[in-house]
């Protein structure tokens, strides 16, 4: 099928004469749109189009000239609203979206428009042959600039089986030439093969090219390890480039391991010598699948490294050498340390494994959103960076997460509490900013301020009002003696934490998390 020829022949359905969205879209589209007012106008748009995502998309598609002349940042906001409205409405609304409208929008977006990938993801969500054909075409012609965005485009295809693989592959493999697409394209092919949806790997006929590409990306990563400035001097650029290269190396190792041809052994042996733990693990796993003894040996060694442990154990079990794994590395604490190390290694977090990780406490607790008690672990991690050290305490169990604010010096009970408060979600638990108080909330804050003054605090400045079910608490910045601090009180319990002289002090939001976490853990967990 000639997708390019077919897809250039689409027709956009006619715009309704009196658009229900014209009034809301008009101030956002075109060269005269006001970026300052756009935030409020986008909120108005989101409220007005609830449940009408398909019509909104049709309306935007009907104004190509206005779209192409619009502010890229404002357009990015419109795309986010469009995507969110469709997503919230569910499969019924998704099925009503006309793929040609999405293609029309995509083709007229200014180059620097943010959130372009959301349009592509909607095509993947529709999953019809028409939608997928257009998706393949657009990915080739207008690929996402970041591999993480490209991965999000394909996520719906990994969640459903009701779509035609023949429409996507092998045509999608032509997109391997685009750096941001190469890893997600291979990951999807790997997923299909693992799930048994294809008898042979979709990329098997391109193995020589894949081996060459693996050698190339391994060489780039080796150069980076020798000279980190090889990817540039700007930290953000370096992180993005490194993340993309690592993702591609991981995907390539997985791909050639699944294809299972011995011609890949040479490039895999080159890759396994890289210092990056995730890449090492993938190369070792692929070599082990090919029966290579060096790969098996390296894989077993990596089970002792927290950042690689979970994946290395999985691969060892998969190829039948799991009985050689140290049982201590399968234990609960070892698993918790591995989960934290792996989370920290992700590009969206620190991007590299920590120097050390250690479980400092573990408790079985009734936790927000869980009906039964679960095991919660506090994990201390540390990064040694020459003369500087960065450390904190994160949480695993209900979820793996570490706050950016420094919680390491809090009492252990409060570390559990601040994470419990952060994790809870409830429509009756929220905050109101100081500039949005109504009369009743203002009076409540005045009462809390007087209480703090009575207890020796000075120079109180209201920050927000915390609503916890049927209770209220006021959050302020204040002086306690000569120390600047953030403080919360409900006139019964008062908590403060210093903010002056601290590199990563608790914010008002953090303190509210601590406050509500204390309440929840006290209420639902018996005290010994």
Would you call 369 exposed, middle or buried from its count of C-beta atoms within 10 A (0-12, 13-18, 19+)? exposed
What average pLDDT score do residues 463-484 get?
A: 94
154-180 average pLDDT score: 94
Q: Which of 143-147, 232-236, 395-399 has the lowest mean pLDDT?
A: 232-236
3-state secondary structure 376-418: EEEEEEEEEECCEEEEEEEEECCCCECCCCCCCCCCHHHHHHH
Q: What angle do CA 359, 360, 362 make, to 5 degrees?
A: 80
Burial 174-192 (b: 16+ CB within 10 A, else e): ebbebbbbbbbbbbbbbeb
pLDDT tens-digit readout, 325-368: 999 999 999 999 999 999 998 877 887 889 999 999 999 999 98
pLDDT in tens, 69-103: 999 999 999 999 999 999 888 888 888 899 999 99
Percent of the chain with pLDDT over 90: 74
- Check whether 2 has a pLDDT greater than 60: no
Q: Which helix (H) or strand (E) holds 84?
A: helix 72-89
Q: Quick one: pLDDT at residue 20? A: 57
The answer to whether 391 and 336 have CB atoms below 8 angstroms apart is: no
Of 392 and 277, the structure prediction assigns the larger pLDDT to 392
Q: What is the number of residues in the chain?
A: 528
Residue 170: cis peptide before it, omega within 30 degrees of 0: yes
Average pLDDT of the segment spanning 493-514: 91
| Distance of alpha carbon 508 from alpha carbon 503, whole angstroms | 15
When pLDDT is averaged across residues 509-519 and rounded to a whole number, the result is 95
Average pLDDT over the chain reads: 90
Examine the pLDDT at 453 and tell me if it is beyond 70.
yes
Res 377: pLDDT:
98
Query: Is the Cβ–Cβ distance between 74 and 35 less than 8 Å?
Result: yes
Bridge partners, residue 472, by sequence: 467
Per-residue model confidence (pLDDT) at position 527: 52
H or E element in which residue 255 lies:
helix 235-259
Q: Which of 35-39, 60-64, 226-230, 250-254 has the lowest mean pLDDT?
A: 226-230
Asked if 329 contacts 314 with a C-beta cutoff of 8 angstroms, the reply is no
pTM to 2 decimals?
A: 0.78
Instruction: Please state the three-class secondary structure of 309-356 as a single string.
Output: HHHHHHHHHHCCCHHHCCHHHHCHHHHHHHHHHHHHHCCCCCCCCCCE
Report the percentage of the chain scoring pLDDT > 70. 95
381 closest CA partner among 406, 416, 398, 418:
406
Average pLDDT, integer, range 369-387: 91
For residue 19, give both structure tokens. Answer: 């658009």
3-state percent helix, strand, coil for the chain, nearest multiple of 5:
55, 15, 30
Asked if 286 and 316 count as a contact pair (C-beta separation under 8 A), the reply is no
The predicted-structure confidence for 383-433, as pLDDT tens digits, reads as follows 987 778 899 999 999 999 999 999 999 999 999 999 999 999 888 999 999
DSSP string, 20-50: TTHHHHTTTSSTT--HHHHHHHHHHHHHHTT
Q: Is the pLDDT of residue 237 over 90?
A: no
């Amino acid at each position: 099928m000639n997708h390019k020829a077919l897809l250039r022949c689409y027709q956009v359905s006619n715009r309704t004469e009196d658009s229900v969205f014209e009034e809301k879209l008009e101030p956002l589209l075109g060269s005269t749109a006001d970026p300052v007012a756009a935030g409020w106008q986008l909120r108005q748009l989101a409220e007005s189009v609830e449940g009408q995502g398909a019509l909104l998309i049709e309306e935007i598609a009907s104004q190509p000239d206005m779209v192409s002349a619009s502010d890229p940042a404002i357009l990015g906001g419109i795309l986010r609203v469009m995507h969110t409205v469709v997503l919230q409405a569910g499969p019924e609304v998704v099925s009503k979206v006309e793929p040609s409208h999405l293609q029309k929008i995509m083709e007229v977006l200014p180059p620097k428009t943010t959130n372009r990938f959301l349009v592509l993801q909607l095509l993947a969500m529709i999953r019809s042959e028409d939608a997928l054909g257009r998706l393949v075409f657009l990915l080739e012609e207008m690929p996402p600039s970041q591999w993480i965005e490209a991965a999000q485009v394909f996520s719906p295809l990994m969640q459903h089986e009701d779509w035609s693989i023949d429409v996507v592959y092998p045509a999608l493999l032509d997109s391997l030439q685009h750096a941001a697409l190469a890893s997600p394209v291979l990951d999807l092919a790997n997923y299909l093969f693992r799930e048994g949806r294809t008898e042979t790997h979709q990329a098997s006929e391109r193995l020589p090219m894949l081996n060459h590409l693996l050698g190339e990306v391994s060489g780039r990563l080796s150069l980076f390890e020798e000279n980190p400035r090889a990817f540039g001097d700007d930290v953000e650029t370096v992180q993005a480039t490194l993340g993309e290269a690592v993702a591609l190396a991981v995907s390539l190792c997985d791909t050639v391991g699944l294809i299972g041809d011995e011609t890949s052994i040479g490039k895999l042996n080159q890759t396994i010598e890289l210092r990056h733990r995730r890449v090492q693990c993938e190369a070792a796993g692929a070599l082990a699948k090919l029966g290579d003894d060096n790969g098996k040996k390296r894989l077993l060694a990596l089970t002792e490294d927290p950042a690689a442990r979970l994946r290395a154990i999985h691969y060892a079990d998969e190829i039948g050498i799991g009985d050689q794994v140290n049982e201590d590395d399968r234990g609960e604490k070892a698993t918790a340390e591995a989960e934290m190390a792996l989370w920290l290694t992700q590009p969206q977090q620190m991007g590299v494994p920590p120097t050390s990780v250690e479980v400092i406490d573990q408790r079985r607790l009734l936790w927000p959103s869980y009906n039964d008690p679960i095991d919660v672990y506090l994990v201390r991690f540390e990064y040694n960076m020459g003369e500087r050290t960065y450390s904190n305490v994160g949480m695993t169990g209900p979820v793996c997460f570490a706050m950016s604010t420094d919680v390491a010096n809090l009492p252990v009970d409060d570390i559990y509490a601040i994470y419990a408060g952060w994790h809870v979600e409830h429509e009756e638990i929220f905050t109101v900013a100081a500039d949005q108080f109504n009369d009743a909330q203002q009076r409540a804050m005045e009462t809390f301020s007087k209480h703090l003054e009575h207890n020796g605090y000075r120079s109180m400045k209201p920050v927000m009002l915390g609503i916890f079910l049927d209770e209220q608490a006021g959050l302020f910045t204040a002086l306690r003696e000569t120390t600047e601090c953030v403080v919360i009180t409900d006139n019964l319990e008062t908590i403060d934490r210093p903010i002056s002289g601290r590199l990563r002090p608790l914010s008002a939001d953090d303190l509210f998390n601590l406050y509500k976490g204390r309440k929840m853990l006290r209420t639902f967990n018996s005290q010994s």
